[in-house]
A and B are shown apart, each in its own frame.
Chain A
Amino acid sequence: MSDQPMTNFSESRFASSWSAATGSWLPAVILLLATIAAWEVVVRIFAISAFIIPAPSEIARSLVAQWATLMQATLVTAGEILFGFLVSVVVGIAIALVIVRFDWLGRALYPLVVLFQNVPKVALAPIFILWFGYGLAPKIGLILVIAFFPVTLSMLAGMQAVDRSLLSLMNSVGASQTQILFRIRVPHSLPNLMAGTKIAATLSVIGAIVGEFAGASDGLGYVIQFASTQLDTALVFAALLLVSVLGIAFYYAAEILERIVVPWAPKFSQA
């Protein structure tokens, strides 16, 4: 390792990451546009029925025609995702803290949490509908059981990866376990936690849609189900597009949050 200080290269790093980003996006954008064009052409040439595969133009038309309905459904689903995501993050963090702070409770809890991961949680949706009705609660519950785990697991990994000699330093000055937890382990776990949070954001979208499939009177999942019973496949695709947009939006929101919370994380600070 050189003894030269790594001075602030943030400007040049930004510039290079910008060109790298556009450089890496451009082929993907071209491929996407080509795929849409090919899709349109194939559907028209072979006269594929719109209720099997609607042409992209058909989907766009449906999107415009049903705009108000779709926006209202998007808002409902976005609310479920956001609320469910926040609950998952809070509960996920709380479980991780309990496991690390209270040793015997952790040893009791951790295997159960891991075991619970083997339950196909999507299959819990009907039970949640049974217990909580058709409103917001079953969706939040479903998102929670699907999304808390990556939060707990990533935070645990970060809290347990603290260097032993750092713990020796803390012990030598008589630091309490609580001090070590909140001054060292928790901040040390934040980069991991933020990575887990991004996974939870993606899973929250899945949780909300599955919850709406199982029983709802509103939201994009409901629109997808309703439209497919009507054989309005173009509307199904339009709703699917909006679900994807929501997923991307939540993922990038989590990514921005990461940059705000842990600007010092290795992935940002090492050029």
Chain B
Amino acid sequence: MRIEPIRAAGGRPAHIRHDDDLISAKGVSVVMARQLVLQNIDLAIPKGSFVSLIGPSGCGKSTLLKVLAGLVDPTSGSVSIAGLSPVEAARKRMIGLVFQDANLLPWKNAVDNASMLLGIADKSLSRAQLKARGQEMLELVGLGDSAHKRPHELSGGMRQRVAIARALALDPAVLLMDEPFGALDAITRDSMGQSLLEIWQRTGKTIVLVTHSIDEAIHLSRHVHVLGIKPGRITESLDIGLPYPRDLSVTEDPEFVRLTVQLRTMLRASHQPGGAS
């Protein structure tokens, strides 16, 4: 077990910069269509951590994830991923992305979908190497025997597993996930969360998860950052002290219940528009 960074009393651990922080955002603001979408975001995500971003609709949590991924440029402030800009990090295959929609290619089977991005990122790999890597990743996400199925033969949960395999095939340092289980039913969602925890523990990836599920955030993450609206900003940060490995029985733990209440209170407060800080 790694030792948790010690947080200053009263929260706002985001300002604390540690050497083992893989991702750090400093003073990130984003203006889109004359709207201040994100205001002065400071964020430090330790290597190997599992961090959730939670907040009401329109708080800019997806935009923040896109900034970390290098898909949106911050209007001001900076982001570094292991000392690189997000775009440089992405080109070095350090970032794996998973969205709410699996976005698999319907004309390719599961194994070819899993290796599709890797094939584009690394042109030196042969077809056989790509297939082997795709198969390995499918096995990691529990779909080893569905390699030859086309997306339409897979359930929503299975398609999302392929999307995770596709991201992992790049062997990224960071997995950035934007509501990856948002379109799934509650039971599938729970089992996907549990699988993701197992994958995280086996691979040691740093995971940043955007979610609007309180249970999911507490079940999975080590740190939760709460974002408020108007403008989007980090209002609270919460450390989840529940020991790993966790399974679904963690939801019955009194500490889980206490954290749920605490996070719900924080989220309610985050719905109030804030002034300039």
A interface vs B, CB < 8 Å? Answer: 1-8, 163, 165-166, 168-175, 179, 183-184, 187-188, 190, 262, 264-266, 269-270
Contacts and interface: CB of A to CB of B under 8 A. Distances in A.
A171 B71 contact: yes
A264 B104 CA distance: 12
A269 B150 contact: yes
Contact of B120 (A8, A173, A187, A264): A173
Interface residues of B, number: 36
Nearest to A261: B107
Given A2-B185, A163-B101, A179-B120, A172 B155 contact: no
B125 to A, nearest CB: 13
Interface of B: 66, 69-71, 90-91, 93, 95, 97, 99, 101, 103, 105-107, 116-117, 120-121, 146, 149-150, 152-158, 166, 170, 183-185, 187-188
B153 A172 contact: no
A169 B99 CA distance: 9
A168 B68 CA distance: 13
Contacts of B166: 169
Nearest to B152: A269
A265 B105 CA distance: 11
Given A173-B117, A173-B170, A1 B150 contact: no
Contacts of B103: 163, 165-166, 169
Contacts of A183: 116, 120
- The list of the 8 closest CB pairs from A to B, nearest first, reads A269-B152, A173-B121, A165-B99, A166-B103, A1-B156, A172-B90, A3-B188, A3-B155
Contacts of A184: 105
Contacts of B97: 168-169, 172
A1 B106 CA distance: 18
Contacts of A5: 146, 149, 153-155, 158
Contacts of B93: 173
Contact of A175 (B70, B120, B188): B120
Contact of A6 (B70, B101, B155): B155
A253 B150 CA distance: 26
Contacts of A175: 120
